[in-house]
Amino acid sequence: MLIPVLTGTTPCENATFRGPHNFSRHATFAATLVPVTSTAPLGLRERKKRAARRALAEAALRLAVERGVDQLRVEDIANEVGVSPRTFNNYFSSKEEAVCAFIVERQERVREALLARPADEPLWDAVVNASITRFAEDDRPDRENVRRVRALLENGALFAEMLRAFATVERVLADAIAERAGEHANPLHARLMASIVQNASRIAFETWLNSDSDDEEFVSAFTGLLREAAAGMPALAASGAAR
């Protein structure tokens, strides 16, 4: 079972991200765990490697939430999955990197969903529908788990690793949007669209986290924000209307 966790806007480009406390206020939901770099079918060996990486990352996050990062060892993560520390090191350079492997995955899964949308679907509609579809298929967030993960951000080494991972997240979606648009791609529009999706997700999730509403309220708020953004920027809504 995946543990609902956090992601957010790109902190390296945002002056308000000056420490763990500010970072956690700007964090938002994501579910995770292993990057996808191609939409082509994967061979058996690659599927096994991805499954092993996913298992290690899931174990790392779960154990970090249960024990705290300082008490977590690479050996603990490897034992949880039934592999050696050497095998762990084939996938991650540190326990912090393994714990933070969750950050990019939801965006990568949105990427897959986006590239699978109908070719004649307007680009912005495809982005919105891909984002909502992936959320619907992910495990639902749990408020207590989210708060526990936020507490992990007090660890300086983990925070630094998260900053590195967050620098990738928006780029992943922007690249997917540009790829989906094909010859119609506008790199600036792609980056702006990705930023809007990230911020809409953050706002909707923060609102949900601080309320008593159910998951559907998050989906409704997220969708509404994306639709309103498109209505306010017709050029984006029309950008790359076909592949």
Q: Say which residues have a Cβ less than 8 Å from residue 84's Cβ, sequence separation at least 6.
A: 78
> What pLDDT does 238 receive?
65
The β-bridge partners of 8 are: 27
At position 222, the amino acid (one-letter code) is F
Judge whether 164 and 96 are in contact, CB under 8 Å: no
Range of the domain at 91: 5-238
Query: The domain that contains 153 carries what CATH number?
Result: 1.10.357.10
The average pLDDT across 23-47 equals 51
Query: In the chain, how many domains are there?
Result: 1
**CA nearest neighbour of 5 among 221, 169, 224:** 169
> What pLDDT does 18 receive?
36
pLDDT at residue 144 above 70? Answer: yes
pLDDT band at 33; cut points 50, 70, 90: very low
The more confidently predicted of residues 145 and 182 is: 182
- pTM greater than 0.75: no
> What pLDDT does 86 receive?
96
Report how far residue 141's alpha carbon sits from residue 124's, in angstroms, rounded to the nearest whole number.
25
Q: Say which residues have a Cβ less than 8 Å from residue 82's Cβ, sequence separation at least 6.
A: none
Q: Is residue 145 part of a domain?
A: yes
pLDDT at residue 25 above 50? Answer: no
Judge whether 242 and 119 are in contact, CB under 8 Å: yes
Calculate what percentage of the chain has a pLDDT beyond 90: 26
Most confident of 38-42, 70-74, 218-222: 70-74
pLDDT band at 19; cut points 50, 70, 90: very low
User: Range with the lowest mean pLDDT among 36-40, 164-168, 174-178, 231-235?
Assistant: 36-40
> What pLDDT does 139 receive?
56
Q: Is residue 173 part of a domain?
A: yes
Q: Is residue 243 part of a domain?
A: no
At position 41, the amino acid (one-letter code) is P
